[in-house]
């Protein structure tokens, strides 16, 4: 009979801890600020900042997809930008033939990305370490040069998209504000999906395979299938980001698939915190804002990026989310001693684990 009271007490205790957790507060503040961004940019009469925020959201989705395989699966891919390009071309190529329906373009982006991830994953996931990095890079460069060679769609010069995807009465993506909220909604759904996946039995097997694949196989798990399913899911999420990116830029080119774009996504994941739910958002925001800030001082701003990455890897391996995590641990350690109220430890953020 006393169980409902104990459950409510436990819920209230968790809410109190969450309200004092710097990571929770930072996440809540970030999403609240993102929700108000169109109103704030309209009030300031600065549409550029809305475009900047939209770009952050889209790249955060792409980084979240990479974080799924890198942070939780230990699969360091230098070919992840290929899915961005596939998703963007799923907007541009149908538009070239006069097909603007999102009901056609979006499933095409997701399906083509899933197919490419499945086919390449069958080969790539049979390798580990540097061999996996090189083979994913090779596949990405193959599709990059394939689109460079197709003159029908602009080749290396790219292709202009004259109209954005039509979503019927759901949203008008020609409106920058509605496109922004479409990207924000997608990010929220992707973050929730990734969180559910990594906390499920599937996610436990995936993390177990990252830490000790041989032991997981000895327990009877076919880890190759789990890793392949995760790889395909990550490809589909990146394809969604590519579909949004194609609509946002109104332009597509093979440059979207270049390996340097994959490097930027890895930078975002590491900077934000690999193996964390909000790390991709923090990393994408920090990357874009630093890019805008440093590029205003010198054309050699990538050197500054390199120094920041070195410092993060050497001294803050958990990234921005790791800093907040340490703040949360400090908050708990200075609070009342209550062993039953300790939160589970955050998963490892070392991709090489």
Residue 297 CB: number of other CB atoms within 10 A?
9
Q: Cβ distance 41 to 53 under 8 Å?
A: yes
pLDDT in tens, 79-108: 999 999 999 999 999 999 999 999 999 999
Residue 10 has pLDDT above 90, yes or no: no
**pLDDT of 7:** 54
Question: Of the candidates 26, 24, 34, 17, which has an alpha carbon nearest to the alpha carbon of residue 187?
Answer: 34
Structure tokens at 6: 């104990």
Q: 8: pLDDT confidence band, cut at 50, 70 and 90?
A: low
Contacts of 210 (CB under 8 A, 6+ apart): 72, 73, 74, 353
Contacts of 5 (CB under 8 A, 6+ apart): none
Q: 342: pLDDT confidence band, cut at 50, 70 and 90?
A: very low
Q: Counting Cβ atoms within 10 Å, is residue 49 exposed (0-12), middle (13-18) or buried (19+)?
A: middle
- Classify domain 29-322 at the CATH topology level: ABC transporter involved in vitamin B12 uptake, BtuC (1.10.3470)
pLDDT in tens, 14-71: 555 555 567 778 778 888 899 999 999 888 888 899 999 999 999 999 999 999 999 9
β-pairing verdict for 159-160 and 251-252: antiparallel
Q: Using a cut of 0.95, tell me whether the model's pTM lies above it.
A: no
> For residue 121, is it left (φ>0), alpha (ψ between -120 and 50) or beta?
alpha
Percentage of the chain beyond pLDDT 90 is: 60
Residue 295 has pLDDT above 70, yes or no: yes
Question: How many alpha carbons lie under 13 Å from residue 185 in its C-beta half-sphere?
Answer: 9
Q: Which helix (H) or strand (E) holds 167?
A: none
Mean pLDDT over 262-286 rounds to 91
Average pLDDT of the chain?
86
């Amino acid at each position: 009979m006393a169980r409902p009271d104990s459950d409510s007490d436990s819920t209230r205790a968790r809410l109190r801890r969450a309200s004092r957790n710097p990571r929770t507060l930072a996440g809540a503040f970030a999403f609240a600020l993102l929700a108000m961004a169109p109103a704030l940019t309209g009030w300031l009469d600065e549409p550029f900042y809305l475009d900047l925020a939209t770009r952050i959201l889209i790249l955060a989705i792409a980084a979240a997809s990479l974080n799924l395989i890198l942070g939780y699966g230990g699969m360091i891919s230098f070919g992840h930008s290929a899915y961005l390009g596939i998703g963007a071309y799923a907007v541009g190529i149908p538009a070239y033939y006069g097909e603007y329906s999102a009901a056609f373009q979006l499933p095409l982006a997701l399906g083509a990305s899933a197919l490419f991830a499945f086919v390449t994953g069958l080969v790539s996931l049979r390798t580990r370490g540097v061999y996996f990095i090189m083979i994913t890079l090779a596949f990405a460069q193959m599709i990059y040069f394939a689109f460079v060679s197709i003159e029908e769609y602009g080749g290396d010069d790219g292709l202009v998209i004259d109209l954005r995807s039509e979503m019927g009465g759901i949203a008008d993506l020609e409106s920058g504000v509605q496109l922004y909220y479409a990207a924000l909604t997608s990010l929220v759904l992707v973050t929730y999906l990734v969180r559910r996946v990594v906390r499920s039995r599937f996610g436990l097997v995936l993390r177990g395979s990252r830490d000790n694949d041989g032991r997981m196989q000895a327990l009877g798990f076919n880890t190759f299938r789990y890793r392949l399913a995760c790889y395909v899911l990550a490809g589909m999420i990146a394809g969604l980001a590519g579909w949004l990116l194609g609509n946002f830029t109104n332009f597509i080119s093979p440059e979207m698939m270049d390996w340097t774009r994959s490097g930027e996504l890895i930078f975002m994941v590491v900077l934000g915190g690999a193996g964390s739910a909000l790390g991709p958002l923090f990393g994408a925001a920090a990357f874009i804002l630093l890019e805008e800030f440093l590029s205003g001082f010198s054309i050699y701003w990538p050197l500054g990026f390199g120094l920041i990455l070195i410092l993060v890897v050497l001294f803050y391996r958990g990234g921005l989310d790791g800093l907040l995590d340490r703040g949360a641990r400090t908050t708990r350690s200075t609070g009342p001693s209550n062993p039953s109220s300790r939160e589970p430890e955050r998963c490892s953020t070392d991709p090489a684990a």
